[in-house]
Chains A and B, each alone.
Chain A
Protein backbone atom coordinates (compact mmCIF):
# COMPACT_ATOMS: atom_id res chain seq x y z
CA UNK A 1 0.00 0.00 0.00
CA UNK A 2 1.57 3.26 -0.99
CA UNK A 3 -1.10 5.58 0.32
CA UNK A 4 -0.12 4.94 3.91
CA UNK A 5 1.33 8.08 5.39
CA UNK A 6 3.12 6.21 8.13
CA UNK A 7 3.98 2.53 8.04
CA UNK A 8 5.71 0.96 11.02
CA UNK A 9 6.79 -2.65 10.81
CA UNK A 10 8.01 -5.00 13.52
CA UNK A 11 9.52 -2.32 15.72
CA UNK A 12 11.53 -3.51 18.73
CA UNK A 13 13.09 -1.44 21.49
CA UNK A 14 14.52 -2.80 24.71
CA UNK A 15 15.84 -0.95 27.75
CA UNK A 16 18.00 -3.54 29.50
CA UNK A 17 15.63 -6.38 30.33
CA UNK A 18 12.53 -4.38 29.51
CA UNK A 19 10.87 -4.71 26.13
CA UNK A 20 9.37 -1.23 25.78
CA UNK A 21 8.38 -1.89 22.16
CA UNK A 22 7.74 -5.51 21.26
CA UNK A 23 7.44 -6.36 17.58
CA UNK A 24 5.07 -3.49 17.02
CA UNK A 25 3.43 -2.76 13.66
CA UNK A 26 1.14 0.17 13.08
CA UNK A 27 0.06 2.46 10.25
CA UNK A 28 -1.58 5.78 9.59
CA UNK A 29 -3.81 6.65 6.62
CA UNK A 30 -4.61 10.06 5.14
CA UNK A 31 -7.14 12.12 7.11
CA UNK A 32 -7.21 9.56 9.86
CA UNK A 33 -6.93 9.92 13.61
CA UNK A 34 -5.26 6.84 14.98
CA UNK A 35 -5.20 6.77 18.78
CA UNK A 36 -2.79 4.70 20.82
CA UNK A 37 -4.04 3.90 24.31
CA UNK A 38 -2.60 1.80 27.08
CA UNK A 39 -1.70 1.87 30.77
CA UNK A 40 1.17 3.93 32.12
CA UNK A 41 4.53 2.47 31.17
CA UNK A 42 3.07 0.57 28.23
CA UNK A 43 5.58 2.17 25.88
CA UNK A 44 3.47 4.85 24.22
CA UNK A 45 5.96 7.69 24.56
CA UNK A 46 8.77 5.34 23.61
CA UNK A 47 6.87 4.61 20.39
CA UNK A 48 6.40 8.32 19.60
CA UNK A 49 10.09 8.95 20.28
CA UNK A 50 11.12 6.21 17.87
CA UNK A 51 8.84 7.56 15.17
CA UNK A 52 10.21 11.09 15.45
CA UNK A 53 13.79 9.84 15.75
CA UNK A 54 14.57 10.93 19.28
CA UNK A 55 15.54 7.37 20.15
CA UNK A 56 16.50 4.74 17.63
CA UNK A 57 14.73 1.42 17.30
CA UNK A 58 16.68 -1.80 17.86
CA UNK A 59 14.87 -3.55 15.04
CA UNK A 60 12.12 -2.87 12.55
CA UNK A 61 11.40 -0.31 9.92
CA UNK A 62 9.60 3.01 9.78
CA UNK A 63 8.31 4.36 6.49
CA UNK A 64 6.97 7.86 6.11
CA UNK A 65 5.35 8.95 2.84
CA UNK A 66 6.77 5.82 1.26
CA UNK A 67 10.31 6.65 2.34
CA UNK A 68 12.40 4.60 4.74
CA UNK A 69 13.20 6.97 7.60
CA UNK A 70 14.43 4.38 10.11
CA UNK A 71 17.93 5.79 10.15
CA UNK A 72 17.23 9.51 9.82
CA UNK A 73 17.69 11.85 12.78
CA UNK A 74 15.05 14.06 14.41
CA UNK A 75 15.83 17.08 12.24
CA UNK A 76 15.70 15.17 8.97
CA UNK A 77 12.37 13.58 9.93
CA UNK A 78 10.92 16.92 10.99
CA UNK A 79 11.93 18.40 7.64
CA UNK A 80 10.20 15.59 5.82
CA UNK A 81 7.02 16.60 7.61
CA UNK A 82 6.74 14.81 10.92
CA UNK A 83 5.38 17.26 13.46
CA UNK A 84 5.27 16.20 17.08
CA UNK A 85 4.25 17.59 20.45
CA UNK A 86 5.84 16.50 23.70
CA UNK A 87 4.08 14.81 26.62
CA UNK A 88 5.88 17.29 28.86
CA UNK A 89 5.92 20.67 27.10
CA UNK A 90 9.26 21.47 25.54
CA UNK A 91 9.50 25.13 24.59
CA UNK A 92 12.00 27.99 24.44
CA UNK A 93 11.04 29.28 27.87
CA UNK A 94 12.72 32.69 27.65
CA UNK A 95 11.02 33.52 24.38
CA UNK A 96 7.63 35.06 24.00
CA UNK A 97 4.78 32.89 22.82
CA UNK A 98 4.94 34.47 19.37
CA UNK A 99 8.68 33.95 19.07
CA UNK A 100 8.34 30.25 19.84
CA UNK A 101 6.03 29.95 16.87
CA UNK A 102 8.23 32.18 14.69
CA UNK A 103 10.99 29.65 15.20
CA UNK A 104 8.86 26.99 13.55
CA UNK A 105 7.92 29.34 10.71
CA UNK A 106 11.54 30.21 9.97
CA UNK A 107 12.38 26.50 10.05
CA UNK A 108 9.81 25.91 7.31
CA UNK A 109 11.16 28.87 5.32
CA UNK A 110 14.68 27.53 5.73
CA UNK A 111 15.89 30.98 6.71
CA UNK A 112 17.81 30.06 9.85
CA UNK A 113 21.09 31.04 8.25
CA UNK A 114 19.91 34.54 7.39
CA UNK A 115 22.39 36.51 9.43
CA UNK A 116 21.00 39.98 8.96
CA UNK A 117 17.31 39.55 8.28
CA UNK A 118 15.74 41.04 11.38
CA UNK A 119 13.30 38.90 13.29
CA UNK A 120 11.52 41.88 14.83
CA UNK A 121 10.59 43.60 11.59
CA UNK A 122 9.77 40.51 9.61
CA UNK A 123 6.04 41.09 9.16
CA UNK A 124 5.52 38.00 7.04
CA UNK A 125 7.10 35.80 9.70
CA UNK A 126 5.09 37.45 12.46
CA UNK A 127 1.83 37.28 10.57
CA UNK A 128 2.18 33.65 9.76
CA UNK A 129 3.14 32.81 13.36
CA UNK A 130 0.12 34.80 14.51
CA UNK A 131 -2.12 32.68 12.28
CA UNK A 132 -1.15 29.56 14.21
CA UNK A 133 -1.67 31.30 17.53
CA UNK A 134 -5.16 32.35 16.48
CA UNK A 135 -6.03 28.78 15.59
CA UNK A 136 -5.33 27.61 19.13
CA UNK A 137 -6.74 30.75 20.73
CA UNK A 138 -3.49 32.11 22.12
CA UNK A 139 -3.37 35.30 20.05
CA UNK A 140 -3.96 37.49 23.09
CA UNK A 141 -0.98 35.95 24.84
CA UNK A 142 1.43 36.46 21.92
CA UNK A 143 3.80 38.78 23.79
CA UNK A 144 3.85 36.86 27.04
CA UNK A 145 7.02 35.00 27.97
CA UNK A 146 6.53 31.23 27.56
CA UNK A 147 7.70 30.66 31.13
CA UNK A 148 4.73 32.70 32.37
CA UNK A 149 2.13 30.55 30.67
CA UNK A 150 -0.14 28.22 32.60
CA UNK A 151 0.27 24.52 32.07
CA UNK A 152 -2.70 24.36 29.74
CA UNK A 153 -1.50 27.35 27.72
CA UNK A 154 1.85 25.66 27.21
CA UNK A 155 0.04 22.68 25.76
CA UNK A 156 -1.81 25.06 23.41
CA UNK A 157 1.47 26.69 22.41
CA UNK A 158 2.95 23.27 21.57
CA UNK A 159 0.02 22.76 19.23
CA UNK A 160 0.49 26.21 17.67
CA UNK A 161 4.16 25.45 17.03
CA UNK A 162 3.42 22.15 15.37
CA UNK A 163 0.73 23.80 13.21
CA UNK A 164 3.27 26.34 12.03
CA UNK A 165 5.51 23.49 10.92
CA UNK A 166 2.83 22.50 8.40
CA UNK A 167 3.61 18.82 8.88
CA UNK A 168 2.36 15.96 6.75
CA UNK A 169 1.56 13.95 9.87
CA UNK A 170 0.97 14.94 13.46
CA UNK A 171 2.37 12.92 16.36
CA UNK A 172 0.69 14.08 19.54
CA UNK A 173 1.80 12.68 22.90
CA UNK A 174 -1.07 13.18 25.35
CA UNK A 175 -2.23 16.54 24.01
CA UNK A 176 -5.12 16.71 26.51
CA UNK A 177 -2.99 16.13 29.59
CA UNK A 178 -3.56 18.91 32.10
CA UNK A 179 -5.88 20.88 29.82
CA UNK A 180 -8.91 20.80 32.10
CA UNK A 181 -12.42 19.80 31.02
CA UNK A 182 -13.11 23.01 29.08
CA UNK A 183 -9.73 22.99 27.34
CA UNK A 184 -10.01 19.31 26.41
CA UNK A 185 -13.40 19.89 24.86
CA UNK A 186 -12.12 22.78 22.74
CA UNK A 187 -9.04 20.86 21.69
CA UNK A 188 -11.15 17.81 20.79
CA UNK A 189 -13.22 19.97 18.46
CA UNK A 190 -10.08 21.45 16.96
CA UNK A 191 -8.33 18.12 16.37
CA UNK A 192 -11.45 16.87 14.63
CA UNK A 193 -10.91 19.49 11.91
CA UNK A 194 -7.14 19.18 11.98
CA UNK A 195 -7.24 15.67 10.53
CA UNK A 196 -8.25 17.18 7.19
CA UNK A 197 -4.88 18.90 7.03
CA UNK A 198 -2.81 15.89 7.96
CA UNK A 199 -3.47 12.60 9.73
CA UNK A 200 -2.89 12.36 13.45
CA UNK A 201 -1.24 9.64 15.47
CA UNK A 202 -2.23 10.41 19.02
CA UNK A 203 -1.37 8.97 22.40
CA UNK A 204 -4.12 9.90 24.82
CA UNK A 205 -5.50 8.98 28.22
CA UNK A 206 -8.68 11.01 27.97
CA UNK A 207 -11.13 8.31 26.85
CA UNK A 208 -13.91 10.73 26.00
CA UNK A 209 -11.58 12.44 23.56
CA UNK A 210 -10.29 9.18 22.15
CA UNK A 211 -13.72 7.68 21.64
CA UNK A 212 -15.11 10.79 20.00
CA UNK A 213 -12.12 11.42 17.73
CA UNK A 214 -10.42 8.19 16.76
CA UNK A 215 -11.07 6.40 13.51
CA UNK A 216 -8.97 3.55 14.80
CA UNK A 217 -7.57 2.70 18.19
CA UNK A 218 -4.54 0.58 18.98
CA UNK A 219 -4.25 -0.82 22.47
CA UNK A 220 -0.70 -1.09 23.75
CA UNK A 221 0.18 -3.27 26.73
CA UNK A 222 3.77 -4.06 27.74
CA UNK A 223 5.09 -2.84 24.40
CA UNK A 224 2.74 -5.05 22.38
CA UNK A 225 -0.34 -3.98 20.44
CA UNK A 226 -3.00 -6.36 21.69
CA UNK A 227 -5.61 -5.09 19.23
CA UNK A 228 -6.33 -2.45 16.64
CA UNK A 229 -9.88 -1.62 15.73
CA UNK A 230 -12.74 0.86 15.59
CA UNK A 231 -14.08 2.58 18.67
CA UNK A 232 -16.91 0.05 18.92
CA UNK A 233 -14.58 -2.91 18.55
CA UNK A 234 -12.23 -1.67 21.24
CA UNK A 235 -15.06 -0.81 23.59
CA UNK A 236 -16.50 -4.28 23.34
CA UNK A 237 -13.29 -6.24 23.50
CA UNK A 238 -13.04 -8.29 26.67
CA UNK A 239 -9.23 -8.38 26.62
CA UNK A 240 -9.04 -4.61 26.44
CA UNK A 241 -11.53 -4.18 29.25
CA UNK A 242 -9.48 -6.48 31.39
CA UNK A 243 -6.09 -5.01 30.48
CA UNK A 244 -6.98 -1.40 30.45
CA UNK A 245 -10.46 -0.01 30.55
CA UNK A 246 -11.37 -2.00 33.63
CA UNK A 247 -8.66 -0.27 35.60
CA UNK A 248 -9.63 3.18 34.47
Chain B
Protein backbone atom coordinates (compact mmCIF):
# COMPACT_ATOMS: atom_id res chain seq x y z
CA UNK B 1 0.00 0.00 0.00
CA UNK B 2 1.09 3.51 -0.76
CA UNK B 3 1.41 5.34 2.50
CA UNK B 4 1.56 9.05 1.74
CA UNK B 5 1.90 11.82 4.28
CA UNK B 6 -0.40 14.82 4.15
CA UNK B 7 2.45 16.91 2.81
CA UNK B 8 3.08 14.45 -0.02
CA UNK B 9 -0.60 14.51 -0.94
CA UNK B 10 -0.53 18.30 -0.92
CA UNK B 11 2.57 18.30 -3.14
CA UNK B 12 0.82 15.98 -5.55
CA UNK B 13 -2.16 18.31 -5.61
CA UNK B 14 0.07 21.29 -6.37
CA UNK B 15 1.76 19.52 -9.27
CA UNK B 16 -1.61 18.38 -10.64
CA UNK B 17 -3.05 21.87 -10.37
CA UNK B 18 -0.28 23.34 -12.50
CA UNK B 19 -0.73 20.57 -15.08
CA UNK B 20 -4.51 20.86 -15.14
CA UNK B 21 -4.37 24.64 -15.47
CA UNK B 22 -2.06 24.46 -18.44
CA UNK B 23 -4.18 21.73 -20.07
CA UNK B 24 -7.30 23.82 -19.45
CA UNK B 25 -5.68 26.86 -21.01
CA UNK B 26 -4.74 24.76 -24.03
CA UNK B 27 -8.25 23.37 -24.28
CA UNK B 28 -9.80 26.86 -24.04
CA UNK B 29 -7.21 28.13 -26.52
CA UNK B 30 -5.97 30.76 -24.06
CA UNK B 31 -2.18 30.70 -24.48
CA UNK B 32 -1.87 33.67 -22.12
CA UNK B 33 -2.85 31.45 -19.22
CA UNK B 34 -0.20 28.93 -20.15
CA UNK B 35 2.29 31.78 -19.99
CA UNK B 36 0.93 32.71 -16.59
CA UNK B 37 1.35 29.18 -15.28
CA UNK B 38 4.84 29.13 -16.77
CA UNK B 39 5.60 32.30 -14.87
CA UNK B 40 4.45 30.66 -11.64
CA UNK B 41 6.68 27.69 -12.43
CA UNK B 42 9.74 29.85 -13.00
CA UNK B 43 9.21 32.11 -9.99
CA UNK B 44 8.59 29.03 -7.88
CA UNK B 45 12.00 27.74 -8.94
CA UNK B 46 13.61 30.99 -7.83
CA UNK B 47 11.89 30.46 -4.49
CA UNK B 48 12.99 26.83 -4.27
CA UNK B 49 16.54 28.12 -4.63
CA UNK B 50 16.17 30.67 -1.85
CA UNK B 51 14.39 28.12 0.32
CA UNK B 52 17.48 25.93 0.34
CA UNK B 53 19.48 28.76 1.93
CA UNK B 54 16.71 30.26 4.02
CA UNK B 55 14.58 27.31 4.96
CA UNK B 56 17.21 24.63 5.45
CA UNK B 57 20.24 26.73 6.31
CA UNK B 58 18.59 29.64 8.11
CA UNK B 59 20.37 32.14 5.85
CA UNK B 60 17.94 35.00 5.31
CA UNK B 61 19.33 36.28 2.04
CA UNK B 62 17.80 39.53 0.90
CA UNK B 63 20.01 39.51 -2.16
CA UNK B 64 18.84 36.58 -4.25
CA UNK B 65 17.82 39.04 -6.95
CA UNK B 66 21.54 39.15 -7.74
CA UNK B 67 21.46 35.51 -8.84
CA UNK B 68 18.08 35.75 -10.54
CA UNK B 69 19.43 38.73 -12.49
CA UNK B 70 22.72 37.05 -13.31
CA UNK B 71 20.79 34.13 -14.79
CA UNK B 72 18.73 36.57 -16.81
CA UNK B 73 21.62 38.67 -18.03
CA UNK B 74 23.77 35.67 -18.94
CA UNK B 75 20.86 34.56 -21.11
CA UNK B 76 20.37 38.01 -22.61
CA UNK B 77 24.04 38.61 -23.28
CA UNK B 78 24.78 35.18 -24.78
CA UNK B 79 21.68 35.29 -26.96
CA UNK B 80 22.16 38.85 -28.18
CA UNK B 81 25.75 38.15 -29.20
CA UNK B 82 24.73 35.03 -31.05
CA UNK B 83 21.78 36.69 -32.78
CA UNK B 84 23.79 39.78 -33.78
CA UNK B 85 26.85 37.68 -34.61
CA UNK B 86 28.94 39.92 -32.40
CA UNK B 87 32.15 38.71 -30.86
CA UNK B 88 31.77 38.15 -27.09
CA UNK B 89 35.47 37.61 -26.31
CA UNK B 90 38.52 35.80 -27.58
CA UNK B 91 40.14 33.15 -25.47
CA UNK B 92 43.28 31.18 -26.41
CA UNK B 93 42.91 32.25 -30.01
CA UNK B 94 39.28 31.13 -30.18
CA UNK B 95 36.68 33.70 -31.02
CA UNK B 96 33.70 33.15 -28.73
CA UNK B 97 30.32 34.30 -29.92
CA UNK B 98 27.24 33.88 -27.82
CA UNK B 99 24.92 30.94 -28.05
CA UNK B 100 21.21 30.38 -28.39
CA UNK B 101 21.41 26.85 -27.08
CA UNK B 102 19.52 26.74 -23.79
CA UNK B 103 21.71 23.97 -22.42
CA UNK B 104 24.84 26.09 -22.74
CA UNK B 105 23.03 29.17 -21.50
CA UNK B 106 21.84 27.32 -18.39
CA UNK B 107 25.33 25.99 -17.83
CA UNK B 108 26.88 29.45 -17.95
CA UNK B 109 24.08 31.03 -15.91
CA UNK B 110 24.55 28.43 -13.19
CA UNK B 111 28.37 28.58 -13.22
CA UNK B 112 28.65 32.36 -13.18
CA UNK B 113 26.07 32.71 -10.43
CA UNK B 114 27.96 30.05 -8.46
CA UNK B 115 31.09 32.17 -8.66
CA UNK B 116 29.18 35.28 -7.62
CA UNK B 117 27.53 33.42 -4.75
CA UNK B 118 30.84 32.01 -3.56
CA UNK B 119 32.20 35.56 -3.38
CA UNK B 120 29.10 37.14 -1.84
CA UNK B 121 28.62 34.25 0.56
CA UNK B 122 32.26 34.24 1.59
CA UNK B 123 31.90 37.76 2.96
CA UNK B 124 28.26 37.74 4.00
CA UNK B 125 28.44 34.51 5.98
CA UNK B 126 30.93 36.06 8.36
CA UNK B 127 28.00 38.03 9.72
CA UNK B 128 24.76 36.93 11.36
CA UNK B 129 21.14 37.97 11.63
CA UNK B 130 20.26 41.46 10.48
CA UNK B 131 23.80 42.11 9.28
CA UNK B 132 23.59 39.14 6.96
CA UNK B 133 20.31 40.43 5.55
CA UNK B 134 21.78 43.87 4.99
CA UNK B 135 25.05 42.74 3.45
CA UNK B 136 23.37 40.41 0.95
CA UNK B 137 21.03 43.28 0.06
CA UNK B 138 24.01 45.58 -0.38
CA UNK B 139 25.74 43.17 -2.77
CA UNK B 140 22.60 42.81 -4.87
CA UNK B 141 22.10 46.57 -4.97
CA UNK B 142 25.70 47.02 -6.13
CA UNK B 143 25.03 44.74 -9.08
CA UNK B 144 21.71 46.48 -9.70
CA UNK B 145 23.37 49.90 -10.03
CA UNK B 146 26.13 48.40 -12.11
CA UNK B 147 23.58 46.96 -14.55
CA UNK B 148 21.96 50.38 -14.88
CA UNK B 149 25.26 52.10 -15.46
CA UNK B 150 26.59 49.59 -17.98
CA UNK B 151 25.50 50.87 -21.40
CA UNK B 152 26.79 47.92 -23.47
CA UNK B 153 23.72 45.82 -22.63
CA UNK B 154 20.99 48.41 -22.59
CA UNK B 155 21.66 50.03 -19.24
CA UNK B 156 18.45 51.20 -17.68
CA UNK B 157 16.39 50.15 -20.70
CA UNK B 158 17.27 46.51 -20.46
CA UNK B 159 18.03 44.11 -23.23
CA UNK B 160 15.65 42.42 -25.64
CA UNK B 161 16.10 38.88 -26.88
CA UNK B 162 14.44 38.69 -30.27
CA UNK B 163 13.93 34.95 -30.31
CA UNK B 164 13.46 32.40 -27.66
CA UNK B 165 16.57 30.25 -27.29
CA UNK B 166 16.81 26.73 -28.65
CA UNK B 167 16.18 23.48 -26.85
CA UNK B 168 17.01 20.56 -29.12
CA UNK B 169 14.45 20.66 -31.92
CA UNK B 170 11.52 21.72 -29.76
CA UNK B 171 9.64 24.84 -30.83
CA UNK B 172 10.29 26.85 -27.69
CA UNK B 173 8.00 29.68 -28.80
CA UNK B 174 5.07 27.34 -28.43
CA UNK B 175 3.76 28.21 -24.95
CA UNK B 176 3.01 24.63 -23.98
CA UNK B 177 6.43 23.36 -25.06
CA UNK B 178 8.16 26.09 -23.13
CA UNK B 179 5.95 25.38 -20.12
CA UNK B 180 6.89 21.71 -20.36
CA UNK B 181 10.59 22.60 -20.28
CA UNK B 182 10.19 24.90 -17.27
CA UNK B 183 7.91 22.51 -15.43
CA UNK B 184 10.26 19.55 -15.92
CA UNK B 185 13.16 21.62 -14.66
CA UNK B 186 11.17 22.72 -11.62
CA UNK B 187 10.39 19.12 -10.74
CA UNK B 188 14.02 18.15 -11.28
CA UNK B 189 15.19 20.96 -9.03
CA UNK B 190 12.70 20.07 -6.30
CA UNK B 191 13.81 16.46 -6.52
CA UNK B 192 17.42 17.60 -6.16
CA UNK B 193 16.60 19.73 -3.12
CA UNK B 194 14.66 16.90 -1.50
CA UNK B 195 17.65 14.60 -1.95
CA UNK B 196 19.96 17.24 -0.52
CA UNK B 197 17.63 17.79 2.40
CA UNK B 198 17.75 14.14 3.40
CA UNK B 199 21.46 13.66 2.78
CA UNK B 200 24.36 13.78 5.20
CA UNK B 201 24.99 17.28 3.89
CA UNK B 202 21.38 18.27 4.56
CA UNK B 203 21.64 16.90 8.07
CA UNK B 204 24.61 19.14 8.76
CA UNK B 205 22.98 22.11 7.03
CA UNK B 206 19.79 21.93 9.05
CA UNK B 207 21.82 21.47 12.21
CA UNK B 208 23.72 24.66 11.31
CA UNK B 209 20.40 26.48 11.28
CA UNK B 210 19.42 25.14 14.68
CA UNK B 211 22.68 25.34 16.57
CA UNK B 212 26.04 26.20 15.01
CA UNK B 213 27.80 25.68 18.32
CA UNK B 214 26.65 22.05 18.35
CA UNK B 215 27.78 21.47 14.78
CA UNK B 216 31.23 22.92 15.47
CA UNK B 217 31.57 20.92 18.68
CA UNK B 218 31.22 17.61 16.81
CA UNK B 219 33.81 18.77 14.29
CA UNK B 220 31.84 20.03 11.31
CA UNK B 221 32.65 23.58 10.21
CA UNK B 222 29.36 25.49 9.83
CA UNK B 223 30.88 28.08 7.49
CA UNK B 224 31.74 25.58 4.77
CA UNK B 225 28.41 23.82 4.98
CA UNK B 226 26.49 27.09 4.78
CA UNK B 227 28.61 28.54 2.00
CA UNK B 228 28.11 25.40 -0.08
CA UNK B 229 24.36 25.57 0.44
CA UNK B 230 24.34 29.27 -0.39
CA UNK B 231 26.11 28.58 -3.69
CA UNK B 232 23.75 25.75 -4.68
CA UNK B 233 20.82 27.92 -3.70
CA UNK B 234 22.10 30.73 -5.95
CA UNK B 235 22.59 28.33 -8.86
CA UNK B 236 18.95 27.26 -8.69
CA UNK B 237 17.70 30.84 -8.52
CA UNK B 238 19.96 31.72 -11.47
CA UNK B 239 18.49 28.90 -13.55
CA UNK B 240 15.07 30.40 -12.84
CA UNK B 241 16.42 33.79 -13.92
CA UNK B 242 17.62 32.30 -17.21
CA UNK B 243 14.18 30.82 -17.89
CA UNK B 244 12.51 34.09 -16.88
CA UNK B 245 14.60 35.92 -19.49
CA UNK B 246 13.48 33.44 -22.12
CA UNK B 247 9.87 33.68 -21.01
CA UNK B 248 9.78 37.46 -21.43
CA UNK B 249 12.43 37.59 -24.15
CA UNK B 250 13.67 40.58 -22.26
CA UNK B 251 15.90 41.30 -19.29
CA UNK B 252 16.15 44.52 -17.34
CA UNK B 253 17.93 45.81 -14.23
CA UNK B 254 14.64 45.26 -12.41
CA UNK B 255 15.61 41.61 -12.12
CA UNK B 256 18.43 42.73 -9.80
CA UNK B 257 16.36 45.12 -7.71
CA UNK B 258 15.51 44.56 -4.06
CA UNK B 259 11.85 44.22 -5.06
CA UNK B 260 12.79 40.99 -6.79
CA UNK B 261 14.63 39.76 -3.69
CA UNK B 262 11.60 40.67 -1.63
CA UNK B 263 9.21 38.86 -3.94
CA UNK B 264 11.30 35.70 -3.94
CA UNK B 265 11.31 35.84 -0.16
CA UNK B 266 7.54 36.30 -0.11
CA UNK B 267 7.11 33.08 -2.14
CA UNK B 268 9.07 31.23 0.52
CA UNK B 269 7.43 32.83 3.56
CA UNK B 270 3.93 32.51 2.18
CA UNK B 271 4.31 28.93 1.02
CA UNK B 272 6.25 27.65 4.01
CA UNK B 273 9.86 28.10 5.03
CA UNK B 274 11.82 24.91 4.51
CA UNK B 275 8.91 23.10 2.85
CA UNK B 276 9.77 21.52 -0.49
CA UNK B 277 6.74 22.76 -2.43
CA UNK B 278 6.20 25.87 -0.31
CA UNK B 279 7.60 28.30 -2.90
CA UNK B 280 5.37 26.79 -5.60
CA UNK B 281 2.28 27.61 -3.55
CA UNK B 282 3.74 30.98 -2.61
CA UNK B 283 4.52 31.96 -6.19
CA UNK B 284 1.11 30.68 -7.33
CA UNK B 285 -0.73 32.83 -4.81
CA UNK B 286 1.45 35.81 -5.61
CA UNK B 287 0.64 35.63 -9.32
CA UNK B 288 -3.02 34.98 -8.55
CA UNK B 289 -3.10 38.15 -6.46
CA UNK B 290 -1.12 40.14 -8.97
CA UNK B 291 -3.34 39.27 -11.93
CA UNK B 292 -6.79 38.99 -10.47
CA UNK B 293 -6.68 41.46 -7.61
CA UNK B 294 -4.29 43.65 -9.60
CA UNK B 295 -6.99 43.90 -12.27
CA UNK B 296 -9.51 45.14 -9.72
CA UNK B 297 -7.38 47.45 -7.63
CA UNK B 298 -3.90 48.85 -7.90
CA UNK B 299 -3.57 48.34 -4.15
CA UNK B 300 -3.39 44.55 -4.50
CA UNK B 301 -0.04 44.58 -2.71
CA UNK B 302 -1.89 45.69 0.39
CA UNK B 303 -4.00 42.54 0.37
CA UNK B 304 -0.93 40.45 -0.25
CA UNK B 305 0.73 42.20 2.67
CA UNK B 306 -2.17 41.44 4.98
CA UNK B 307 -2.14 37.81 3.90
CA UNK B 308 1.61 37.55 4.38
CA UNK B 309 1.37 39.11 7.82
CA UNK B 310 -1.40 36.71 8.82
CA UNK B 311 0.59 33.72 7.65
CA UNK B 312 3.81 34.85 9.30
CA UNK B 313 2.10 35.72 12.58
CA UNK B 314 -0.28 32.81 12.89
CA UNK B 315 1.12 30.01 10.78
CA UNK B 316 4.83 29.53 11.21
CA UNK B 317 4.99 26.84 8.55
CA UNK B 318 3.29 29.00 5.92
CA UNK B 319 0.43 27.64 3.83
CA UNK B 320 2.03 24.21 3.70
CA UNK B 321 2.29 24.28 7.48
CA UNK B 322 -1.43 25.04 7.78
CA UNK B 323 -2.48 22.35 5.32
CA UNK B 324 0.01 19.62 6.10
CA UNK B 325 1.11 20.24 9.68
CA UNK B 326 4.45 20.85 11.33
CA UNK B 327 7.72 19.50 9.98
CA UNK B 328 8.86 16.21 11.42
CA UNK B 329 12.45 15.09 11.46
CA UNK B 330 12.89 11.38 11.97
Interface residues of A, Cβ cutoff 8 Å to B? 52, 54, 73-75, 78-79, 84, 86, 90-96, 98-100, 102-104, 106-108, 111-120, 122, 125, 143, 145, 161, 165
Contact between chains at A107 and B220 (CB < 8 Å)? yes
The 8 A-B residue pairs with the shortest CB-CB distance in the complex, in nearest-first order? A78-B219, A114-B200, A107-B218, A112-B204, A92-B210, A104-B218, A79-B219, A107-B219
The 25 sampled A-B contact pairs (Cβ below 8 Å) are A73-B216, A74-B216, A74-B217, A75-B221, A78-B218, A79-B219, A84-B217, A86-B213, A92-B214, A93-B211, A95-B206, A95-B210, A99-B329, A102-B203, A106-B200, A108-B219, A111-B200, A113-B200, A117-B199, A119-B198, A122-B200, A143-B330, A145-B329, A161-B218, A165-B219
Q: A92 contacts which chain B residues (CB < 8 A)? A: 206-207, 210-211, 214-215
Q: B167 contacts which chain A residues (CB < 8 A)? A: none
The answer to the question of B202 belonging to the interface, with a C-beta cut-off of 8 Å to chain A, is: yes
For the complex, give the distance between the alpha carbons of A143 and B328 in Å: 10
Contact between chains at A95 and B329 (CB < 8 Å)? yes
Contact between chains at A91 and B217 (CB < 8 Å)? no
Q: Mark B184-220, 1 if CB is under 8 A from A, else 0.
A: 0000000000011011111110110011011111111
Q: A113-B228, A118-B199 are in contact. Are A103 and B329 (CB under 8 A)?
A: no
Question: Closest CB of chain B to A210's CB: distance in Å?
Answer: 24
Majority-rule SS of B interface residues: helix
Q: A98 contacts which chain B residues (CB < 8 A)? A: 330
Contacts A86-B213, A108-B219, A115-B201 supplied; 20 other A-B pairs, CB < 8 Å: A75-B220, A78-B218, A79-B219, A90-B213, A90-B217, A92-B215, A93-B211, A94-B329, A95-B329, A103-B203, A103-B214, A106-B204, A106-B220, A112-B200, A114-B200, A117-B200, A118-B195, A119-B198, A122-B200, A161-B218
For the complex, give the distance between the alpha carbons of A106 and B219 in Å: 10
Contact between chains at B211 and A120 (CB < 8 Å)? no
Q: A95-B207, A119-B202 are in contact. Are A112 and B329 (CB under 8 A)?
A: no
Query: Using a CB-CB cutoff of 8 Å, which residues 140-191 of chain B contact chain A?
Result: none
For the complex, give the distance between the alpha carbons of A81 and B102 in Å: 49
What's the count of A-B pairs with C-beta under 8 Å? 102
Chain B residue, CB-CB nearest to A54: B213
Q: A75-B219, A78-B217 are in contact. Are A119 and B211 (CB under 8 A)?
A: no
Interface residues of B, Cβ cutoff 8 Å to A? 195-196, 198-204, 206-207, 210-211, 213-221, 225, 228, 327, 329-330
Q: A118 contacts which chain B residues (CB < 8 A)? A: 195, 198-199
Chain B residue, CB-CB nearest to A126: B330
Contact between chains at A115 and B207 (CB < 8 Å)? no
Question: Closest CB of chain B to A117's CB: distance in Å?
Answer: 5
For the complex, give the distance between the alpha carbons of A93 and B214 in Å: 10
Q: A125 contacts which chain B residues (CB < 8 A)? A: 200
For the complex, give the distance between the alpha carbons of A247 and B221 in Å: 42
Contact between chains at B329 and A96 (CB < 8 Å)? yes
Chain A residue, CB-CB nearest to B327: A94
Q: A91-B211, A92-B210, A145-B329 are in contact. Are A119 and B203 (CB under 8 A)?
A: yes
For the complex, give the distance between the alpha carbons of A13 and B218 in Å: 25
Q: A112 contacts which chain B residues (CB < 8 A)? A: 200-201, 203-204, 220, 225
Q: Which of B195, B201, B203, B221 contacts A99 (CB 8 A)?
A: B203
For the complex, give the distance between the alpha carbons of A145 and B327 in Å: 11
For the complex, give the distance between the alpha carbons of A78 and B214 in Å: 11
Q: Which of B204, B210, B215, B221 contacts A94 (CB 8 A)?
A: B210
